[in-house]
Structure 1
Amino acid sequence: MMIPTPGGCAGRSSVVTVVVGCPPDREGLMAQQERRSVRIARATYRLTDLIRDRRAFDVADYPPTGRDFAGFGSTRQCLLITFRRSGAAMPSPMNFGIADGKIYMRTELGSAKVRRLRADPRVVLVPCDFRGKPKGAAVAALGRLLSEAEAAAADAVIAANWSAPMRMVERGLERASEQLDMPLAYLEFTPA
C-alpha cells in the first residue's frame, strides 16, 4: 500500500511504502508453533494429573521388589517414576510394550520426563491401570532414549500392546503431534 506524504525534496510529495499483512519470519512462526505445542502439552498433563490415582505417588516411598518385567504382561499401562534433581519422585502412567525382557514407551521429546531421564537414567516401573493405580511389584530400571533407527521397532512393540480404543487415541495423538511439529521420543528400559 502506498501512502503519499507532504513535504519531500524541493516541495515535491514523497511516497512511503507500507507492507500490510506480511507473514512473520520462519523463526518467529516456529517459535509460535513451539509455544502452542507446549501449551497443549501442559493442558494435557494438568488433565491427567486430575484423574491420576493418588496411590501412584506413594509407590516411590517403598523400595522396588521386582527383579524383571514378568508381571507386566497382563497390563497395558505402567507407572514410570522418574526423579527430579531434588530426588522427588514424579509418577506418570504410560502405555508401553515388552520385547526381549525390555520395556518400550514413547512420549513428547520436550516433556519433563525426558529431561529427567536424561539427567538421571534410574527409574522405577510398576504395572498399573489407566489412572496409575499400582497393580504389581515395582521394578528398578535404567532408561535410555532410542535413536531414530531404533524407533520404528519400538513403535511396533508399543502398538502391539494397545487396546482397540487406545489405538484410536494414540493414532489421533500421532497425527496431532505431526501437525504441531511435536517430535516423539522413544524410550527403552532394562531391569537394573
Structure 2
Amino acid sequence: MSPTLSEIGAAKYVLLTTFRKDGSAVPTPLWAALDGDRLLLWTVTDSWKVKRIRRNSRVTVAACDVRGNQKGDAIEATAVVLDDAGTEHAREVITRKYGILGWLTIKGSLLRRGKSGTIGVAVTAP
C-alpha cells in the first residue's frame, strides 16, 4: 500500500525527485513539513530542482534518511514554487517542525543569502 503525503511528511527527511527534460529522475533529500493537505519544502532559489519544477511540476516524494536512501514507497505528486509570502510561511512551518536546529539553519541561511536566496516549494498529492 502506498504511503500518504502525511506519512511521508512525518519523516525527518523527504526525498523529492524532480525530472530532467529527458525524463531522468533527480532525487534530493530535503527537510519538509506538513501544512494542511500539502507538504512544504525549502531550498536555494537558483537550484536546479527549482528550475526543473518551474518547467515540469511532476515530482515524486518518499521518506528517506539524511543521505537520500529511500525508506518506503514514493508517491506521485505535483510541486509548485511559492511566492515571497508562501516562502516565509514555509520557513515558519519548517522551523516549527525542526525546532532549534531548524531555526538556526534558517536564520543562518537568511544571513548568508538574504530573503531572496531561498524559496519555498509546496507539494500536493492527487
TM over 0.5: yes
Return the structure number with greater strand share: 2
Q: 2:59 aligns with which of 123, 135, 142?
A: 123
Q: Which amino acid aligns with 2:91?
A: D
Written as runs of structure 1 = structure 2, the 5 A alignment for 1:67-106 is 68-106=4-42
Query: 1:83 deviation in Å?
Result: 0.3
Q: Which amino acid aligns with 1:183?
A: G
Structure 2 alignment gaps of length 5 or more = none
Q: Is the contact between residue 66 and residue 140 of structure 1 (CA under 8 Å) also seen in structure 2?
A: no
Q: 1:156 aligns with which of 77, 89, 92?
A: 92
**TM score, norm. by length of structure 2:** 0.87
Query: 1:88 deviation in Å?
Result: 0.7
Gap change, CA 1:185 and 1:166, over 3 Å in 2: closer
Which secondary structure state, in structure 2, belongs to the residue aligned with residue 118 of structure 1? Answer: helix
Gap change, CA 1:170 and 1:130, over 3 Å in 2: farther
Specify the structure having the higher radius of gyration (Cα). Answer: 1
How many corresponding residue pairs?
A: 126
Q: Which amino acid aligns with 1:184?
A: T
Structure 1 segments of 4+ aligned residues over 3 angstroms from their partners = 163-167
Identity of aligned residues (%): 26
Q: CA RMSD in A?
A: 2.0
Gap change, CA 1:73 and 1:149, over 3 Å in 2: closer
**TM score, norm. by length of structure 1:** 0.59
Higher RCO (Cα < 8 Å, 6 or more apart): 2
Q: Which amino acid aligns with 1:115?
A: K
Structure 1 alignment gaps of length 5 or more = 1-64
